[in-house]
Amino acid sequence: MRSLTYLLCLLSSALLLACGGGGGSDNNTPKPPQPVQNVQAIVVDSGPTVSGQSVNAVNSPYVSVTICAPGSTSQCQTIDHILVDTGSSGLRIIASALSPSIALPGLSAPSGNPLAECARFADGYSWGSVRQADLRMAGEVASSISVHVIGDSAFTSVPNGCSGSLVAENTVAAFHANGLIGLSTFIEDCGSNCANQAVEGWYYSCPGGTNCTATTLPLARQVGNPVASFPQDNNGTIIQLPSIADSGASGVSGSLIFGIGTQSNNGLGSAKTYTLNASGNLSVLYQGQVMQGFFDSGSNGLFFADSTIPACSNNSGFYCPLSTVSRNVTNTGLNGLSSIVSFNVANANSLFQANPNNTAFNNLAGGPAFASYFDWGLPFFFGRSVYTALEGVSVAGTVGPFVAY
């Protein structure tokens, strides 16, 4: 079991605005983009196999992505079991899942040396090169984006500023996925913080692939939310997963929809919009305590502090109450809109023992990775359409970042 929560920069990414020229005749008026296929299938199952054995993932939503060498339509590879993560930004692929025939050019640090990146999660770190690739999903294409290749054998020396005391997650077995697609509200994964200063735990300049030192990196070369690079449907995403029984499900099928309010299938409808602060959080009131909350499909449970619910003796990280307990939370956006969300916390040990073939649960919860934060992990997403809008975009009069459900 693992909760996966990316340590987002506290500083907001710079807002990039495109300014179009005015004037011109009707013949020069740009035509509106034509609708494209914007739905990618999601599966929640036991994850990829390693040496013929499943990695036994739980509450992990996966999609398939097609990676191509920049500008190529033939040098491509479709990779399954890429974790969908609204808690981070950027596409990260485990090196062993990439075919050696797919030649992805490496990027350089401002020094001219090879560029590597560290991704630090709640339960570990991942290290590898930064390369350039085209991403294809549904009918969407993100061209020449920066991609983090985890476990790249050309970068074997991990700086202490990356690893620290965290566990290495540089293989499919350790990562429980062939990669991750980060679809948070941030356009870049680190943003102006890394553009303006060298920050340990993010980007590194590595002469010869070794002796890596932290480096600055311009926004345009940072690993970022690939949706922002789509030519259309590029203002956010929707995750749709069906409701499941309290005993869980052996497999769940859902949808990842690109764009919000850009096509007939991605309107806000009756969803309520909650604007977020510069760190991508809203206000959460739980058991009389106000804390920061975030929505993270890459976390396999709801994670929050509650000393009245016993922790599991095994299945570390999850709660094991004597019987299922019910709780309420009030979410409040910066725009003042509030709603109460009710959920259950079941005994994780009993759930897993009674339902050994199930891989999806709506009542799995545990203690927080970060004090004073409420992590709305995947259980929140079952039975809902959850919208994640990028920073700086405007949808139906609301400016991102925001979530809606």
Average pLDDT over residues 274-295: 97
Which backbone phi and psi does 206 adopt, to 5 degrees?
Answer: -130, 90
Q: What pLDDT, on a 0 to 100 scale, did the predictor assign at position 30? A: 60
- CA–CA gap between residue 387 and residue 404 (Å, rounded): 5
pLDDT tens, residue by residue, 268-283: 999 999 999 999 999 9
- CA–CA gap between residue 180 and residue 309 (Å, rounded): 31
Q: What pLDDT, on a 0 to 100 scale, did the predictor assign at position 6? A: 42
Q: Which residues pair with 106 in a beta bridge?
A: 131
pLDDT tens, residue by residue, 235-253: 999 999 999 999 999 999 9
* Whether pLDDT at 16 is above 50: no
Q: What pLDDT, on a 0 to 100 scale, did the predictor assign at position 315? A: 87
Q: What pLDDT, on a 0 to 100 scale, did the predictor assign at position 121? A: 85
Q: What pLDDT, on a 0 to 100 scale, did the predictor assign at position 371? A: 85
Q: How confident is the model at residue 318 (pLDDT cuts 50, 70, 90)?
A: very high
Angstrom distances, CA of residue 5 to CA of 88, 163, 171, 180, 298: 7, 16, 17, 12, 7
Q: What pLDDT, on a 0 to 100 scale, did the predictor assign at position 357? A: 96
* Whether pLDDT at 22 is above 80: no
Domains of the chain with CATH codes: 38-231 (2.40.70), 261-404 (2.40.70)
pLDDT tens, residue by residue, 102-149: 999 999 999 999 999 999 987 799 999 999 999 999 999 999 999 999
- CA–CA gap between residue 346 and residue 356 (Å, rounded): 15
Q: How confident is the model at residue 18 (pLDDT cuts 50, 70, 90)?
A: very low
Q: What pLDDT, on a 0 to 100 scale, did the predictor assign at position 28? A: 61
Q: Using a pLDDT cut of 70, give the percent of the chain over it.
A: 92
* Whether pLDDT at 369 is above 80: yes
pLDDT tens, residue by residue, 100-112: 999 999 999 999 9
Q: What pLDDT, on a 0 to 100 scale, did the predictor assign at position 14? A: 28
Average pLDDT, the chain: 92
Q: Is the pTM of this model over 0.85?
A: yes
Rg (CA), the chain: 21
User: 151: phi > 0 → left, psi -120 to 50 → alpha, else beta; which?
Assistant: left
